[in-house]
Amino acid sequence: MNDIESRLAEALAARAADVEPHDQDDALNRISERVTMSHRRTFTILAVAAAVVVAAGTVAFLSGDDDKKQAVNIATDSSDPTTTASTTPTTVVRSAGPTPIWPFASDQRRIASAADAARSFAIDYLGMTNAVVGDSNGLDVQVFPNERASLRTIVHVVEDDTKGFVVVGASADMIEVDTPVAHDPLSSSLAVSGRSLAFEAQINLELRPYGSTSPVFEDFTMGGGSEVLPFSTTITPPSTDEPLVLVVFEGDASGEGAMSQATVIPLAAGSSESTEPPTPTTTRERTPEEAIDVHIRSSESEYAGPCDEAIENEEIDKYCSRLYEDRGTTRIYSAGIVFSEFDTWLLLTHGADGWTVTDAASAGTVDEPQPPPW
């Protein structure tokens, strides 16, 4: 033991002497009291630990089963121990979709498939008597006016909670409407424009109320007869505060049905102040000159109008026409290049939509003219 260790041992001995009891019995009692106090602290710690274990076990029991989960509500107010938090079931509500064009709201049937909805729409709403359903891309269904036709109309279908599959619009390949678009508001002057290809270039327009196939407005305009060309017109819808459906279509030249292709666009109600129901509007009849224009344009030529006006306006390399004979509901016109001899006879017939070229024949040559064959 070195000097430092010796000095440390002497200091500890002196300190021990200061605290050593003079009475051995008193020292024994003090030791016993400390041992007893230590035991009590141990028992207290063990009791608290046991309580914690019991609480943890209870929570594990309540939350351990994934298939029988229960919520543990901790009340902040102990005035009514029987009060428990109530929960309200959450109901998932589908957002309202577009108003169906077909079937009508008055129709109580439920359509089971998109194909059935498209076919009934084509037959009963568009008047495609012999409509054939083709392939579908989701809820867009192809429809053809008959099994031989290549003209295609795509019918747009959605699923409704009440009526099953319903139609909300349609678009024809050869009648592309740029304006208006779906749900545009009606106005007193409605521009209708796009591109089209149709027999004799004519496309027809109808406005129909929801729930009806009877038009409240009818008109027509011209697009392409041999290729897709632009069309543009402005119509004046009847005054109404109800939404309408715009139908832009090509009539069925075969006579089998009313339409061969159609683009159908739902329009929202405008700001009309009138509360009167829509009333049918008289359709403007097609004039003989308009009918001749349609026929000549279908042959990829240009029409300048009546020959007297065309000569005066020096319309070169265009066709003109002259009335040859008026028979009331039919008329015969001669047609030819301006400043040249006429070479064609045209037979026009008056119908519900006005005049239409129903036949054409050669007028022969200057040396061997041919009379009209009708």
Tell me: domain 114-267, CATH 3.40.50, correct? no
Helices and strands (H, E) in the chain, number of each type: 5, 16
Residues in the chain: 374
List, for residues 95-149, the tens digit of each pLDDT value. Answer: 346 789 999 999 999 999 999 999 999 999 999 999 999 998 889 999 999 999 9
pLDDT tens-digit series, residues 243-268: 999 999 999 988 889 999 999 999 99
For residue 17 the two structure tokens come to: 């002497």
Domain ranges of the chain: 3-55, 114-267, 288-362
Whether a cis peptide bond, with omega within 30° of 0, leads into 237 is no
Question: Which runs of consecutive H residues, i.e. helices, occur in the chain?
Answer: 3-19, 24-63, 114-120, 288-297, 307-312
Residue position matching structure tokens 């049918």: 280
pLDDT in tens, 344-366: 999 999 987 788 899 999 999 88
What six digits make up the tokens of 115?
A: 């194909």
C-alpha–C-alpha distance, residues 181 and 213, integer Å:
21
Taking 50 as the pLDDT cut, the residues of the chain under it are 16, 19-22, 27-28, 31, 34-96, 272-276, 281-282
pTM score of the predicted model: 0.53
Question: For the chain, how far is it from start to end, CA to CA, in angstroms?
Answer: 150
| Tokens 């037959």 belong to residue | 123
Cβ-contact 260, 250 below 8 angstroms: yes
